[in-house]
Each structure stands twice: as structure tokens, then as C-alpha cells.
Structure 1
Amino acid sequence: MLIFFNKYLNFNLNIISCIPYRAIFSLLTSFFINLYIGPHFIYHLKKLQKCQIIRKNGPKTHYIKNNTPTMGGIFIIFSILFSIILYCNLSNTYVWYVVSILIGYGAIGLIDDYKKIRYKNTQGLKIKWKYFWLSIFALGFIYIINANNKDFMITTLMIPFFKKSFEINYLYIFLAYFIIVGTSNAVNLTDGLDGLAIMPVVFLTCGFTLISLFSGNINSSNFLHINYIKNSGELSILCMAIIGSGLGFLWFNSYPAKIFMGDVGSLSLGGALGTIAILLHQELLLIIMGGVFVVETISVILQIISFKMRKKRIFKMAPIHHHYEIIGILEPLIIVRFWIISLILLLISLISLKVY
């Protein structure tokens, strides 16, 4: 949008047309949009009784959250898209790849949330159909990026810290699929306490903001020994929109939460992060930076395997944040400690950019 004004209306926008300035404006815009529309959105959801359904076998302390409205992810997505339209170069295909997954996964999450509210249960969209549509969008993205980006090196996997890349050929298709769908579900599983998921999302996106800037500059990419990806710097503006929107949402989602993001928020944000990781060739770094999401997912997998094979549970309840609740750790304490761990993992990941 700014590029349009500069070209056709002769505005002197040379300063704010630079990526760092546009990125900052993108963050501030999405943040203040959420602050403005958040109270109105919460009011109307309460009026329409679009509230979270708390599962009966969960921690008893969650029962007081029964009347908390959900689907806050709608205004997260709205503010992100608004900032993207204003500040991103809309001819950049990388931006459209992420936007497509953001909207597509958001739509799946919205249907899931609606069914939960409509039928007053926690099941929502059937698991097989949820994974079917998540898979369709993921595989569609992988196909399109392969077809339209011959120089993308889609079959190359970068190993963090060692600064080596390996050709894994068509196995990359399965890895890319796993990254997008897996990250989406990992964020969804983590979103169980007030503000627990959104701050790790913000920290993770901060890392991708820096990497996208470095990757888009040939001198920085050579210095840091990472892949040079032409035009990837534009992703930093999109990432900053996610950060601003996440912080704006946290304003209302921090303990005690006035609204939950719902599946419409968690699936879309997770899918977008997975997509960004693939576009930047940082799939394995995503696993390190998003270690909180990885641990939450592994705790669920281990719990299921243990119960199926041994008829015993490893944790009091999975995901693991509920285990800590049940053994008596206060919810705000769990949340802040998970945030701290997420920040530390981000810093460790950034160190890998120069290690070689």
C-alpha cells in the first residue's frame, strides 16, 4: 500500500518504505487495532453467548472459565491481515503463501470452534475431518511452492549449529507436511492456560523476524552462514504484524483471561509459523525455538502410548501444563515459567546463526 502511494501519489515515503520501518509500523498497527476492537469483540461474543466449553475431566480450577468467550483468533487474524495489506509488498509470493495458510487454517479452526459452541461439547470438528483439511492445505502449499519456485531448494535441509545442509530429495515433502500440520496442532495443544500459547508464538516469531531480515540480505546471510533467500526480508513485516497482534491479544488473554483465541487462533498461528519456517529453510531451528510446543506435544503422545500399552498414565493429565496444575502449581506460575523457557530457547536458537 505504501509502495502504491509512493509511486502514484508522489508521496515522499522513502524512509518508511524501508523494510525495518514498515516492520515497526506493522507491529504497532496490529497491536493498536487489537486494543481497539478487542473490547467490542468480547462484548458482542458475550452477548451472543459464544463462550468456551470447558471439558469435565479437566482441572477443577477451569470451571470458573466456562463463561469466557472464545474465537479471539478472529481479531488476531484480522489485525494481521490489515497490517499486511498496509505495509507489505503484495507482489511478494512468500507473503501470499503464509496468508493462504493463515486464512485456510483459521477457517478450519473457526468451524471447529463453532461446532463446539453450537453443540455444547468439546469435540467440535471430527478429528479425521480436521486432519483431512489441515493436510489438504499443507500439501497444496507444498505443491504450489514446488511448481512456482524452481530455485527454492525445496529438497535441502539445514542443520542448525553445524551449518551444514543435506539433500533429502522427496523426503522433504513429508518433513514440510509434518512441520506445517505438526506446528499447528502443537500450538493448539499448548493453548490451555491464559496467555500460555501466545507469548511463545511471539518469541518464536521474533526469531523468524530476524532470520527473514538476515536471509534477505546477501551480506548478512554470508556473515551468519545461512541461506540467502531473495525477497525473504518482506516476511519480517508479516512476522512483526503477528507479534503486534499477539501482544494486543495478550492484553485481554493474560490471566485471568477475558477471551480465548480458540482453534481459529491457535491453528492459524501454528500453521503460519510452520510455513514461515519452511520458506526460510529453518525447519529444525523451529523445533528448537518452539521447544515449549514440542514438549507439550510429546507429553500428549507419551501419555497416549503409555495408556494404550501399559494401561498407566505418565502424567496426571496431558498436555503437561495440566499435569503441573493438578499437582498444585498455580496457573500464573506455570504460564510465566513456560514464557521464560520459551525466551531462553529463542536465545539459544539465535546463537546458532553464527556458530560454524
Structure 2
Amino acid sequence: MIYLLIMKLIMINPKFSGLKAFSYLSSRAILALITSIVVSMFLYPKAIRILRSLKAGQPIRELGLEEQMLKKGTPTMGGIIIIFATLLSVILWMDLTNRHFITLLIVTVGFGYVGFLDDYLKITQKNTAGLSSKKKMLGLLIFGTAAISWHLWSSFHLSVPISYTLYPTSVNIPFLKNVIINLGIFYAPFAILVIVGTSNAVNLTDGLDGLAIGPVITCALTLMILSYVTGNIVVSKYLYYHTIPGSGEISVFLSALIGASIGFLWYNTFPAQIFMGDSGALALGGILGTVAVITGHEILLVLMGGIFVAEALSVIIQVASFKTRGKRVFRMAPVHHHYQKKGWPEQKITVRIWIISFILALLSILTLKLR
């Protein structure tokens, strides 16, 4: 909104040319970050008080973990503030005519809505069941399909020469120069799987104070850098990297998301004053998966989001092993509970996972040169 206003003022009167500094992508990304931090930091204390007065506490499953039971009653649905602060900042500083804004908006609002319904049912019914897994998956698939449909339709209606871009149904293979696979008609279900899978993986990771939000920030920061590169023809050609028209604007969106996540982390560090709930975890995971799809980093997401992959795989392995062999591989799944069962303090697990996530982010950025 502010970006479009600045551009209009410059066109109307040259006297406003000094405002052009605020129209640059880097300037708007920084301003979006600051805006979302301020908004979230301002809203969380009020939200915590209101949620406590409404007794909107997070129901806790009986896992045999004393630390987990101490969290009973902690306000949840903090993800709503993350979404609100992100979108408010985005509306102010992002170019709203950018086609990728619509794709990200569908996922952010849609996945956030599904998560909200799940959180609301848990709170009102005073149990951990919430929305049934089938209904939750159906909701995610509907909004994921809508987002990918818009993305592909808008991609195929571009007037940019295709030789400069990654073909809309193609997947880039990291660390290998010019190795691109065109999935054709199979791309849509693949892309939807990436988005919905990432959403659920982040949700599974959100089990300890500050655990999920740390890797979300490192992944968002990595994707922000990669989005800028793929959106800049000069930089991408210099690095012999693929180009995605308009993807540079996504860096403003991700910058706003990082700011809102930092604001949330302030109140989510141990001992947490508020949880993000499914309304936050599903939306954040969906955003990361969607950006990876838009920018052609679906495969690289496995590396940068290695923490989420490990958490999801631990659940799959545990269930498969118990059903086929009657034995458990881990003491408890997701894997962060395994280390709790081994006696690791919650803070140690969280910080070590943050460190691993940071290393994976650096390795992912290296793909810009190591090919």
C-alpha cells in the first residue's frame, strides 16, 4: 500500500522523488521486518492477558513427561498474531500487484483458518483431539490446490521470455548445474504435496518452547535470500542461477514473517507465555512450502528444512515399525520427545536444534555457488 502510494506520488510530482529510497526492495524488506516486530511485540502482552481471561489454554496430552504437564493452561493460538502482524506489514510494504502475493495470501489465510478451527475445538472441547485428521487434511488440500492453481495459471500467462525463467512445471536440482526436471502434469500434485507436507512437518515440530519457530526463522531467512536472487535477472545470470519473474517481492513477505516470528519468540522462549498452536504452525509451514515451490527450491527445502523432515520421518518410522514389528525405534516420537525421555533438558534440545537448523541454512545458501 505504501509502496504503491510512493510510486504514484513520484509519477505525479518530481518533488516526491526523495521518497524513492523507500521504494527499493531492500528498504521495504527492512521496513517490513521492523513493522512486524513492533506490531507483534505490542499485541502479544494484550493477547496473552485476553486468552488467559478466556481460559484459552493449550490442552496437554499425557505423555509421561513431567515438563510437558507443567505447560497445561498456557494460552495458545498465538499464531494468529504472527499471521496478523505479517499480513499487516506485507500490505504496507509489498507490491500488492505482484502475482505471488495472491498465492501466499491463499495459503497464509487458508492454512491459518484450518489451524484456528483445530485450536478452537481443542479449547472448547477441553481435549487434544481438535479437528479430525481427515477434515484437517482435506482443508489443507483444498487451500493448497487453490494456491497452486493460481500460481500455475499466472505463471503460464507471463509475457516474459521463457528462456530467462525456470519453466513453471520444472524442478531445480540443487548442487547440480543446469539439472532441471520437467514434471509436466505431475507437477501440480507434487507441489501440493510439498506445501501440505511442510505444513504438517512444522506442526509436528512444534512440541517444545521455541522449538519450531527457530527453524522457521532460519528457513525463511534462507528462502528470502534465494527469492531475491531468483527475482533479480542480473544477479541470477551472474550466478548461473534460474530466474523467477517477480519473486524478488517475496523477500518482503518473508522479511515480515521473520519479524513477526521474532516477536512471537520473545514470548515463546522457555518458559513459554504463549503457544502458536496449529493456527500458526500450519500457516508457517504452508508459507515455507509455498515459497519453495514458487522459487523452484522444492528439493532444496529438504535440506534447509532438515529439522522438519527429521521430525516428520521420526513419526513415520515409529508408526511403521510398531505396526509391522510391534517395536518402537524411538522412546517417543516426534524425535524431540525421544531426547526428553533420555533426560535432556528442554532448553538444550531446543538450542541444539536451532544450531543444526542454522548450519543447514548455510549449506542451502551455498547452493548458489556450489554447482
1:221 matched to 2:227? The reply is no
The residue number in structure 1 matching 2:65 is 59
**Alignment of structure 1 residues 1-356 onto 2, 5 Å:** 1-9=1-9, 11=16, 12-150=18-156, 153-163=167-177, 164-356=179-371
Tell me the alpha carbon deviations over residues 320-355 of structure 1, each in whole angstroms, 9 at most, x when there is no partner: 000000110000000000000000000011111111
Superposed CA offset, 1:285-335 (max 9, x none): 111000000000000000000010011111111000000001100000000
| Structure 1 residue 144: Cα displacement | 2.2
Indicate conservation of the 8 Å contact 2:44/2:264, yes or no: yes
CA contact (8 A) 1:2 1:13 kept: no
TM-score of the superposed pair, with normalisation by structure 2:
0.94
Which shows bigger deviation, 335-344 or 144-153? 144-153
- In the alignment, structure 1 segments of 5+ residues that lack a partner are none
Q: Is the 8 A contact 1:188 1:267 kept in 2?
A: yes
SS of the residue aligned with 2:283?
Answer: helix
Whether the aligned pair in 1 keeps the contact of 2:4 and 2:95 (CA below 8 Å) is no
* 1:187/1:270 contact within 8 Å kept: yes
Alignment partners' CA distance in 1, 2:181 and 2:204: 31
Whole-angstrom distance in 2 between the partners of 1:273 and 1:176: 12
- 1:112 and 1:334, CA in 2 relative to 1: closer, same or farther beyond 3 A? same
Give distance in 1, aligned partners of 2:341 and 2:136: 29
What's the secondary structure of 2:34's corresponding residue? Answer: helix
Counterparts of 2:7 and 2:355 in 1: how far apart (Å)? 45
Aligned residues: 356
Gaps of 5+ in 2: 159-165
Structure 2 residue matching 1:149: 3-state secondary structure: helix
CA RMSD of aligned residues (A): 1.2
Shift of 1:148: 2.6
Instruction: Kindly indicate whether the alpha-carbon contact (under 8 Å) linking 1:232 and 1:280 is maintained by their aligned counterparts in 2.
Output: yes
Query: What amino acid is the match of 1:257?
Result: A
Secondary structure of 1:56's counterpart equals coil
Which residue of 1 is the match for residue 161 of structure 2?
none
